[in-house]
A and B are shown apart, each in its own frame.
Chain A
Amino acid sequence: MADGAMAAGWRDVGALDEVPRLGSRTVTTPGGTVAVFRTKDDEVFALEDRCPHKGGPLSQGIVHGHHVTCPLHNWLIDLKTGQAVAPDQGCAPTIPVQVLQERILLLLPAAM
């Protein structure tokens, strides 16, 4: 199953345990930094590590529920959609992510 995923272009970026609960780690790629988040219920999300507001590193924010608060100006971003929560407007692009056998896999676009 993991092999199938790899064949489709999924990249193994590390073990689930290496990302703290309610925390985040980054993955550097040629197309920019990706932030990988882990929520308290062990869901994993990945976004481009740039707040739609002023480019703040979302990976450095406080994670709560399925949201992260940007550390620069407290914008609230929905981890699942990358959308800023109203009334703020903007979107951090999402990166497809899945967890297989405790490993985190990212589907990185060609540009990354």
Chain B
Amino acid sequence: MNMINKRERLVVVGNGMAGMRTVEELLKRDPLRYQITVFGAEPHVNYDRIALSSVLAGEKEIGQITIHSLAWYGENGVQLQAGDPIVAIDREAKTVTSESGRVEPYDKLLLAMGSKPIVPPIPGLELPGVCAFRDIADVEQMIAASTEHRRAIVIGGGLLGLEAANGLMKRGMAVAVVHLAETLMERQLDTAAGRLLQRELTERGLNFFTNGQTEEIFGEGRAEGVRLADGREVPGDLVCMAIGIRPAIELAKTTDLDINRGIVVHDDLRTSDPDIFAVGECAEHRGKTYGLVAPLYEMAKICADHLARDDAMSGYTGTILFTKLKVTGVDLFSAGALAAGEESGELTYNDTARQVYKKLIVRDGKIDGVVLYGDVADSSWYLDMLRSGEDITPFQDAILFGQSVVAAMGKVKPPSVGDFADSYQICGCNGVCKGTITEAIADKGLTTLEEVRLHTKASASCGSCTGLVESLLAATAGAAAKPKSQGMCRCTDLTHEAVRGRIVAEGLQTIPDVMRTLDWKNPDGCHSCRPALNFYLLCAWPGDYRDDAQSRFINERAHANIQKDGTFSVIPRMWGGVTNAKELRAIADVVDRYDIPSVKVTGGQRIDMLGVPKDQLPAVWRDLNAAGMVSGHAYGKALRTVKTCVGSEWCRFGTQDSTGMGVALEKMTWGSWHPHKVKLAVSGCPRNCAESTIKDFGVIAVDSGWELHVGGNGGIKLRGTDLLCKVDTHEEVLEYCGAFLQLYREEARYLDRTAPWIERVGLDYVKSRIVEDEAGRKELHARFLHAQQFAQTDPWEERANSEARSREFHALAQVA
């Protein structure tokens, strides 16, 4: 039988997430039944529309959000007509016609046109500078506007509008959000949570005009602002309409298919014509239309069942929606009912100081709705109970404190991914259940997170379920998954702690020694373990260990920071952030002499010269050395900077000489290598202008002495410091600082900042070593100072003045 000629023809209208997911699910079930042709309105392959927020916010590139590459269509025999929307359906003849006039016959037709932005009928919509937030073209227009214009207005304070506003703000625009209702995201959040969200976003710099009905977009030749019904005017050069979406049903309306708000489908996703299916945002199921991704993917699976087999029994029964906002750092979750009705009650938890708010709607002893703000750690637990209808009466009085607390009371099992039912949804973005993941791990022998992502798509979109997927992997693959989670790297199953312990106990002196003795699996290790071993040996044997340049990351080998174009940046040390005319003049001369393209002041109060080619580094350093400047180690897992305020020397509020203290700390600590970068700061009074409370070691002067703070971090994951203790004298500050840094050097894992290290070992442990054990502290400090004897040589000078050592900065040969 010739299968090719016998294939039925499936035409898909819509090349978006719902339609293509259905095609993908169909190919899994039966790759041979249909000859598939996909028509898309946009001139692109299928991409992740939810990730447009991340593209706008500059977190991803357009190229990174492709779901199906052009090659995928080819490999799977799917014909793609991109940029050619279908304009007519002839149900009698069973054909569709595209805009370009192409007529395509079908046996089965899948409608997946998605949705259109809702646009209110107001004057000014036609002006340049007005856009929606729906597709790649919109986002490109917004990004272009952000480079030329300064002010943006987003109309709509719902999920879509806030993500648009956040993205535009990240692009450097001043953004005003006009919202019709009194509070934000009123369809997903109750008033209390909506207010908390508005407060948070206002602090981040967004401006809100709530109770704002837009009456008109005004401007001559280009949008210049909007006018609200109550007379308020909001100026802006870009107006983004993000009120919401409605099902795209224009095409379906030209047929006599059943249509309400969307195209009416049955539980098998068939429309009123059994040969025509509809999925996604254009479909209406049991009176509901959906605008989030999870239900689309559920529909795709059921629809694929019925496309693949005429006798399929599965049915779509609707989706309980939940909402998360894709704005980095805003934790918010909601699902189900928003407020109590006549037959239900509310449990609320409101911590105004920490800005944590939790509300559960409870009906007949079961959860009927969840609203969480500020702490969403238990969202999966609540959502699971909402879906399963579990009786919560036995622990209702403690339920708001979370699963761990309820478990500690012995009322439920402790949170463990192993306890979840196979139908428990782990990945909300891609609709992947626990059973699917564990099956793939077992059947295909997966051992890493990346493999699980590749095979199941779980945790492959927003990534918020990554922790759960990792736990599942550990639980399912068992020992096979272990090397990844516990060993230093793929070269050994030993943990960082075990390796360090044996280096000291067995007196291992070199990297080859360690690898030989500890049975390294790869003879010369890898890019991940070699730098770690180099540091561990350096820390264990100060003065004796010979640093292995080839085991250092390029920045530490070249003593400069590699940039994306392969050039380097050069940052001289400025003790405590203090400089003078001579240094500045020397920097200016260097910039002129070497034609350095960019000069910038860093967050750590230093001056950064960017764009220096590698072969010029020794000469640049020689000139800076000549003016008395040395390496700032801004490139290393090392002591970076000590940031200071001007303190009592100048400031009318200053209580102590914070600058002098900063200089003293930097003189003591510079040149020290660490598991990761280390930043210090000294503030002269509790106003804390040097931001000491987000540093690894922060000092704040008070009238009666110095407060010492540890474990702060201002990076991806913001962490305020913990107060270590208060000391009286200048000498004590230096001693505690040296001891703390040495403890971190000796005990933290390579690439751990102080923040995660302290979270792991606990502040009490650090206090017990540094504050309570005086003799131990003095020993640690002494070991730090001992190591510093060998560390405090300027690496720039060593290289700038040695022909042999500067050689590696030049090409081996130049061929004309």
Contacts and interface: CB of A to CB of B under 8 A. Distances in A.
B580 interface: no
A54 B566 contact: no
B218 to A, nearest CB: 44
Contacts of A25: 808, 811-812
A22 B550 contact: yes
Given A64-B525, A65-B522, A13 B550 contact: no
A5 B531 CA distance: 39
Contacts of B523: 40, 65
Contacts, number: 90
B813 interface: yes
A26 B450 contact: no
A62 B551 contact: yes
A19 B807 CA distance: 10
A28 B815 contact: yes
Interface string B518-546: 00001111110011000000000000000
B810 to A, nearest CB: 9
A63 interface: yes
A27 to B, nearest CB: 5
Contacts of A20: 549-550, 808
A20 B524 CA distance: 14
B205 to A, nearest CB: 31
A61 B554 contact: yes
B204 interface: no
A83 interface: no
Contact of A71 (B562, B808, B811): B562
Interface in A56-75: 56-57, 60-65, 69, 71-72, 74
B558 A74 contact: no
Nearest to B813: A13
A87 B524 contact: no
Contacts of A60: 554, 557-558, 562, 566, 614
B564 A64 contact: no
B508 to A, nearest CB: 18
Given A56-B566, A62-B527, A21 B812 contact: no
Contacts of A33: 811
Interface in B787-816: 807-808, 811-816
Interface in B450-471: 450, 454
Contact of B815 (A55, A69, A87, A112): A112
- Pick the most buried of B523, B550, B551: most chain A CB atoms within 10 A of its CB: B550
B812 A18 contact: yes
B553 interface: yes
A87 B812 contact: no
A64 B812 contact: no
A8 to B, nearest CB: 16
A93 interface: no
A27 B366 CA distance: 71
Interface in A1-39: 11, 13-14, 18-23, 25-30, 33, 36
Contacts of A97: none
A99 interface: no
A91 interface: no
- Pick the most buried of A65, A71, A87, A108: most chain B CB atoms within 10 A of its CB: A71
Nearest to A15: B812
A62 B816 contact: no
Contacts of B525: 64
Interface of B: 450, 454, 522-527, 530-531, 549-551, 553-555, 557-558, 562, 564, 566, 614, 807-808, 811-816
